[in-house]
Amino acid sequence: MKKIFIVLVAAVLAMTTSCKEGILDTAPTDAVAGSTLLEDTEGGYMALNGAIRWLWQWGVTVTGNAHQCFGPQGYALMGDLMGEDMVMAGQGSGWFWYDYLYDVKDAYTSGAWRSYDCWNFYYTLICQVNYIIAAAETMEGDQADIDYIMGNAYALRAYSYHYLAMTFARSYIGHEDKLCVPVLLEPTTSKTTGLPRSTNRQVYEQIVSDIDAAITLLQGKGQKHCSHVDYYVANGIKARIALTMGDWNAAYTASSNAISGSKALTADVLGGYNDASAKDVLWGAEIIEAQGTTNPQFLAHMDIAFGGYGSTARKCCSEWLYERIPAGDARKGWWNYEKLDQNGKVLEGYQQYKFRFADPSNTYTGADHIFMRIPEMYLTMAEAACRLGNDTEAQGILNEFMGFRVSGDIPYDCSSKTGTALGALTTDETGSLLEEIILQRRIELWGEYGRVYDIKRLRQGFVRTKDMGHPVAGLLNNRDCANPESFDWVMTIPQKEIDANPGIVQNPIGSAPEGNTGDDPALAPNVE
């Protein structure tokens, strides 16, 4: 993997028991040699915090277009804009516009676009935690601290490979033996040689091994900072992985375990989702002024009151999805029907208000990053129960969850819905219980998960129409998104990586393989 990896130990977080207590030490530690840094747990925590700080660094993964490259929240926004439920009403400054138009895959030769950004981001994080994991047997200090550091490192490696797989490969289900991404488990040096792409099955075997190790190591240990992975967050990551793999038993158990901690559902849905210490936030990053960002930040792309990207390139809910929000559902307040003036054109749309700065005039405060919330775990547990044929339990879980969303004279009740039928397209309604669970997932996780990742794992196609609110430019008439076998959802690999690694085969640029491209292991270069 050569120079695409960056060994970076960035800013260091203070060890606190509460996300909002204390201050963060922002002194860089990259001048410290890795071998020295990882001799003991004090250095281990510094290295871990440096790796975690990577989760909200912006602009360091690319040579240009840096304002759309800021870690997991950026990739969640990318994934939502690649789906059908989020409408981008105007081009604005151009950030995320080309993700929305599916017009980034052919830019794989450039260091300024999405292929390079995603690949570089996750493999850099992998590189950092590989150094930490390699020090497990030699690190000195209390064993509980060593276990905590290693548990975080294993969880972050599993998390990174999971998102690499979802971005650079087709769905796991149905493509288990197709090419995925290379798996590197050792610290990267100047002498490290590139590896070929492993299959989905091989990659996910490693992912499961890593996240299971993390869960074991973190059990019984309190979370030292909200940005860290603890036992409950690790189970949340495993729940995501299990959904992708179709391992319903594991998804049920992991999501249930994630829920069993101190975090809980809340009926407060209109606070702007800007506080990592909120009751329903499982995992997030506290942003203080010394580490804050102004323009290149998720909320800057969403909040119209900020007056920048969020106002000139407005993110709206599709009319199709908005119309299916139940009566009395507080989440209707996440969007407001407005006439939008975009680039001199008057458009109509459901402008988002779900994500807002606490104070748009001061983006250094009230601007935390949120990576995972408790509602996702309830919806995962409901889906898993439904998939396992436990309709009554799934109904009960969903009814309990929706009790925190719907009030008034018409209570929510899904008890009449059963079964797992899904339509060929995401708009082909079957009336099944599984479809209802997925619908509530689409509403609840709008803007924070990445809709295209669910579309891929569910193996459905989708369409965009003007009636949904999508502008003509965003209708994807030249893409094959109605076909669940489409390669449109599979990102191309950076040319720099291919040049450095003769064992890499490129993904198709378009909707389908052409010539000797694709994800067939038999077509991969023979480098023996």
**Residue 340, pLDDT score:** 76
Which of 416, 376, 91, 118 is CA-nearest to residue 236?
376
H/E/C letters for each residue in 76-132? HHHHHHCCCCEEECCCCCCCCHHHHCCCCHHHCCCCCCHHHHHHHHHHHHHHHHHHH
Tokens encoding 517: 């491209």
Q: With H, G, I as helix, E, B as strand and everything else as coil, classify residue 216.
A: helix
pTM value? 0.94
**Residue 516, pLDDT score:** 59
DSSP class of residue 473? G
Whole-angstrom CA distances from 73 to 68, 120, 133, 338 are 10, 16, 26, 26
Domains and CATH numbers, the chain: 2-284+370-474 (1.25.40.390)
**Residue 13, pLDDT score:** 32
Q: With H, G, I as helix, E, B as strand and everything else as coil, classify residue 377.
A: helix
* Sign of the C-alpha dihedral computed for residues 111, 113, 115 and 121 taken in this order: positive
Whole-angstrom CA distances from 136 to 55, 289, 352 are 23, 34, 46
**Residue 17, pLDDT score:** 37
Cβ partners under 8 Å of residue 94, min gap 6: none
DSSP class of residue 329? B
pLDDT per position in the chain (528 positions), as tens?
433 333 333 333 333 334 543 322 333 333 344 567 899 999 999 999 999 999 988 888 999 999 999 999 999 999 999 999 999 999 999 999 999 999 999 999 999 999 999 999 999 999 999 999 999 999 999 999 999 999 999 999 999 999 999 999 999 999 999 999 999 999 987 778 889 999 999 999 999 999 999 999 999 999 999 999 999 999 999 999 999 999 999 999 999 999 999 999 999 999 999 999 999 999 999 887 766 555 568 999 999 988 778 888 999 999 999 999 998 999 999 999 988 776 667 778 999 999 999 887 776 666 899 999 999 999 999 999 999 999 999 999 999 999 999 998 889 999 999 999 999 999 999 999 999 999 999 999 999 999 999 999 999 999 999 999 999 999 999 999 999 999 999 999 999 999 998 889 999 999 998 765 689 998 888 765
Cβ partners under 8 Å of residue 42, min gap 6: 141
Query: What's the gap between Cα 518 and its chain centre?
Result: 24
Tokens encoding 388: 């396992």
* Identity of the amino acid at 243: L
Query: What's the gap between Cα 286 and its chain centre?
Result: 18
Query: What's the gap between Cα 432 and its chain centre?
Result: 27
Which of 141, 123, 124 is CA-nearest to residue 37?
141
Q: How far apart are the first and last CA of the chain?
A: 17
β partners of residue 350: 317, 337
